[in-house]
């Protein structure tokens, strides 16, 4: 079992006492939520006009569907500040949403046919058409229903002075950029290795409406006439009904052993044609069904628990920017929306995530070979479908170990990083770890366990449970007055987003066909980045 080296832990503790800003991390949150009607069906109305232009709005856009809002916070240096802003965005949306509500859960509301799920529309600019064509491709490849599954994405980075300190402490002769890139990938490899723990602790999708399952092969059991589930499931969203692509698993192997390999393997998937996707067609009846016919249309289609990220300059290819300038932050993508929480996530969970990520960085991180990659996949699947089985065994580098035993050892080590982050007498980071010990010892206390318990106790289907939470959250947000100053602030943002979107549409110089060719050409030089 890996743990943080004691000399490094002691040195970091001493350094942070001298410079408290050393362990002040950067946080950003993206929360997806379906707009639903009063009876729990997917709303098929256009994106609300008062929210502005979704192509350019910095805080409110859409994800796959026109009915699927994405709420975004900018970077904040404290979890509470990020959550406060996320709360503010929710309240603004509810101030003008009228009869619709924001669905409380990851697994979708009552759905009709796939064709009844509207694709997000971003206007007639090349960028807007690209986004719609990309979403059309996702619908053809995976089904529109699957794309309505929602999540919380957590963006995280260490401050520059932390990297300077760590590079010196580890006596690295690399440049700052080389060191930061290498260590971020160390973090991501450990994250993938231990991500099953987050799935167990925070998975909140053990059941799903039968309307979602129409036409899909599955091994779920009937909970009642309207709901399917698995008794020990944690996060069906993370399984083969959700964001696990058999095509991606069979046709590409994205490497986390370094930046160059990561970029080249992703670029290769974007540049390699896939016969079944070619059969879908590209341009049919003057409409683009997808951006291309390759394994991935773009890096955004790579479904992974964690991704290396950087904000590119306007018009710059993301992977080229990532390769040239390095990792700026990491994006945690495996978090379910917790239906018990109005925001889908809370401060205790974020503080645990920070402690977990610091542990992943400071602990030894072996490079991933085929055996370790298989164990990552195996442990993830086992936890998704059987995580709350008290007898579940996982694969730790070829050794079978129980989830409870391994989880307990991990939490003990994560507690060490939490102690480093507790710079005052509140001990809130350590308490965030202690709270997870209770969930490890009693699976009913996990979100997935609580959901099934409440559904069974109240004898209600998943759709009724999630709608009840949806209505609770609506009352919560509407009970907090939205001040005129805040309303004015968001009206200015909305108006500016409309103007910015119009500017983009007026600035295009390429025909859309040529625009797609230009984008495709940008990936080819990156396929041999390693």
> What is the DSSP code string of 254-323?
---S-HHHHHHHHHHHHHSB-HHHHHH-SEETTEESSS-SBS-SSGGG---SEEEE--PPTT--HHHHHH
Residue-level pLDDT at 434: 97
Nearest to residue 384, comparing CAs of 206, 193, 218? 206
**Which residue reads 């064709």 in tokens?**
115
Residue-level pLDDT at 355: 98
Each residue's pLDDT tens digit, 303-342: 999 999 999 988 899 999 999 999 999 999 999 999 999 9
Mean pLDDT (whole number) for 148-174: 97
Mean pLDDT (whole number) for 182-186: 98
Least confident of 101-105, 214-218, 340-344, 513-517: 214-218
Nearest to residue 26, comparing CAs of 225, 161, 143? 161
Q: Would you say residue 132 has pLDDT above 70? A: yes
* Cα first-last separation, the chain: 31
Each residue's pLDDT tens digit, 420-441: 999 877 899 999 999 999 999 9
Alpha-carbon Rg of the chain, whole angstroms?
Answer: 23
Cβ-defined contacts of 492-497 (< 8 Å, 24+) = 493/52, 493/57, 493/58, 493/59, 494/50, 494/51, 494/52, 494/53, 494/57, 495/52, 496/52, 496/56, 497/52, 497/53, 497/54, 497/55, 497/56, 497/57, 497/58
Dihedral of alpha carbons 379, 380, 384, 385, sign: negative
Q: Determine the Cα–Cα distance for residues 109 and 103; give it in Å rounded to an integer.
A: 7
Q: Determine the Cα–Cα distance for residues 518 and 498; give it in Å rounded to an integer.
A: 27
Residue-level pLDDT at 1: 58
How far, CA to CA in Å, does 378 sit from each of 42, 187, 238, 242, 366?
34, 20, 13, 16, 18
In this prediction the pTM is 0.96
Each residue's pLDDT tens digit, 465-495: 999 999 999 999 999 888 889 999 999 999 9
Q: Supply φ then ψ for residue 290, to 5 degrees.
A: -160, 170
Residue-level pLDDT at 426: 82
Q: Report residue 452 as tokens.
A: 């099934």
Confidence of residue 244 (pLDDT cuts 50, 70, 90): confident
Nearest to residue 1, comparing CAs of 440, 412, 416? 412
Q: Report residue 207 as tokens.
A: 């059941």
Residue-level pLDDT at 530: 59
Q: Supply φ then ψ for residue 121, to 5 degrees.
A: -115, 125
**Which residue reads 């991500």 in tokens?**
195
Confidence of residue 246 (pLDDT cuts 50, 70, 90): confident
Q: How many Å separate Cα 263 from the centre of its chain?
A: 19
**Which residue reads 């495709």 in tokens?**
520
Determine how many CB atoms are found less than 10 A away from the CB of residue 190.
Answer: 22
Least confident of 147-151, 246-250, 442-446: 246-250
Domain ranges of the chain: 6-528
> What is the DSSP code string of 380-440?
HHHHHHHTT-TT-EEEETTEEEEHHHHHHHHHHHHHHHHHHH--SSS-HHHHHHHHHHHHH
Mean pLDDT (whole number) for 233-247: 87
Q: Are 90 and 337 in contact (CB under 8 A)?
A: no
Least confident of 210-214, 251-255, 265-269, 459-463: 251-255
Q: Are 374 and 359 in contact (CB under 8 A)?
A: no
Each residue's pLDDT tens digit, 206-237: 999 999 999 888 999 999 999 999 999 999 99
Domain 6-528 = CATH 3.30.590.20: yes
> What is the DSSP code string of 99-164?
T-EE--SSS--B---GGGSPBP---SSHHHHHHHHHHHHHHHHH-HHHHT---EEEEEE--HHHHH
Nearest to residue 140, comparing CAs of 243, 266, 281? 281
Q: Report residue 354 as tokens.
A: 């920070």
């Amino acid at each position: 079992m890996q743990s943080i080296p004691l000399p490094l832990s002691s040195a970091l503790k001493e350094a942070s006492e001298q410079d408290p800003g050393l362990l002040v991390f950067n946080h950003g949150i993206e929360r997806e939520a379906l707009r639903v009607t009063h009876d729990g069906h997917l709303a098929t109305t256009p994106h609300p006009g008062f929210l502005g232009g979704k192509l350019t709005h910095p805080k409110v856009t859409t994800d796959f569907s026109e009915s699927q809002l994405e709420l975004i916070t900018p970077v904040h240096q404290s979890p509470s500040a990020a959550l406060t802003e996320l709360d503010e965005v929710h309240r603004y949306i509810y101030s003008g949403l009228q009869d619709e509500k924001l669905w409380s859960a990851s697994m979708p509301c009552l759905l009709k046919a796939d064709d009844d799920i509207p694709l997000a529309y971003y206007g007639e600019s090349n960028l807007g058409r690209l986004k719609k064509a990309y979403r059309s491709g996702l619908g053809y490849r995976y089904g529109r229903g699957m794309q309505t599954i929602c999540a919380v994405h957590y963006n995280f980075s260490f401050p520059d002075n932390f990297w300077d300190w760590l590079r010196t402490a580890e006596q690295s002769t690399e440049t700052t950029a080389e060191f930061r890139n290498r260590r971020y990938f160390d973090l991501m490899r450990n994250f993938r290795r231990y991500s099953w723990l987050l799935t167990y602790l925070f998975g909140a999708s053990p059941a799903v409406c039968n309307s979602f399952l129409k036409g899909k092969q599955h091994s779920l059991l009937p909970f009642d006439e309207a709901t399917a589930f698995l008794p020990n499931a944690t996060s069906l969203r993370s399984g083969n009904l959700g964001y696990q692509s058999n095509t991606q698993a069979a046709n590409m192997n994205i490497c986390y052993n370094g930046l160059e390999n990561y970029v080249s393997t992703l670029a290769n998937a974007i540049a390699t044609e896939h016969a079944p996707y070619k059969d879908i067609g590209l341009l049919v009846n003057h409409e683009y069904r997808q951006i291309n016919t390759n394994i991935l249309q773009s890096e955004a289609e790579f479904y992974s628990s964690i991704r290396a990220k950087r904000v590119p300059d306007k018009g710059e290819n993301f992977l080229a920017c990532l390769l040239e300038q390095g990792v700026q932050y990491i994006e945690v993508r495996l978090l379910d929306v917790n239906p018990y929480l109005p925001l889908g996530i809370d401060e205790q969970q974020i503080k645990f995530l920070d402690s977990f990520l610091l542990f992943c960085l400071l602990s030894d991180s072996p490079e991933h070979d085929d055996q370790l990659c298989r164990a990552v996949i195996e442990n993830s699947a086992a936890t998704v479908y059987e995580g709350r089985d008290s007898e579940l065994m996982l694969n730790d580098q070829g050794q079978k170990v129980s989830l409870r035993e391994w989880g307990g050892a991990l939490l003990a080590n994560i507690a060490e990083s939490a102690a480093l982050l507790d710079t005052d007498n509140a001990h809130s980071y350590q308490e965030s770890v202690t709270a997870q010990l209770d969930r490890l010892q009693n699976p009913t206390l996990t979100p997935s366990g609580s959901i099934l318990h409440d559904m069974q106790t109240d004898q209600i289907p998943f759709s009724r449970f999630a709608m009840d939470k949806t209505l609770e959250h609506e009352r919560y947000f509407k009970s907090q007055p939205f001040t005129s100053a805040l309303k004015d602030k968001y009206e200015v943002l909305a108006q500016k987003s409309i103007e910015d979107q119009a500017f983009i549409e007026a600035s295009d110089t390429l025909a859309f066909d040529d625009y797609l060719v230009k984008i495709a050409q940008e990936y080819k030089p990156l396929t041999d980045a390693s």
